[in-house]
Structure 1
Amino acid sequence: MSDYNALGITVRYLAFPRQGLQSQAEQDMKAIWCAKDRNKALDDAMNGKGVQPASCNVDIAKHYTLGVQMGVNGTPAMVLSNGMVLPGYQGPKELKAFLDEHKTDKR
């Protein structure tokens, strides 16, 4: 994320278990959101190191529902401030160029 941040791009996350609610992915996402170090937990999960069980008061179903309402139907996906959905991975430089070209309004 530091590469995105260095280009002035702010990223906020929603949990979106592609396998749907009540899946192992939902449980893993809950553990990531509840981890002491979310960044490390997410990195570990993405690198196949597994997720350490953790629990807290987070409603992954709300995240998922919001994603569906925004038009997300897979991951990765980005929702811009104007509501436009960009599916698939966008590298930092590519995303910056796209944002500069399309100048989304900041809210």
Structure 2
Amino acid sequence: DNENHPDADQGIAGNRKAGSLYDLIPADPQNTKPYGEWNSVKIVSDGPKIEHWQNGEKILEYERWTPEWFEMIRNSKFVGHPEFGAMREGHIGLQDHGDVVKFRNIKIKEL
């Protein structure tokens, strides 16, 4: 939830709010449910093309590994991590920032 997460108002143009590509691209619209309610999230990864869906609505889409992608990373907090955003395969991680976080009904389906 954005209301209780101290980092949500940091960054640029809301790029650290729920559903955003953290510190890179803000989600639009910002349709996060209030604290205490579950959000429904779907992430579709098809090669370099990524879509973020939240509560039944597409809130973000982008393409990885383009010159614009790497320029965006160079202008972010991840600039000192050369591997960030460059990997084409690997592990799936669930992110938190030291707050209480809960996940449920996680499903992974190969396209």
Scaled by the length of structure 1, the TM-score of the pair is 0.28
Larger % of strand: which? 2
Scaled by the length of structure 2, the TM-score of the pair is 0.27
**Larger RCO: Structure 1 or Structure 2 (Cα < 8 Å, ≥ 6 residues apart)?**
1
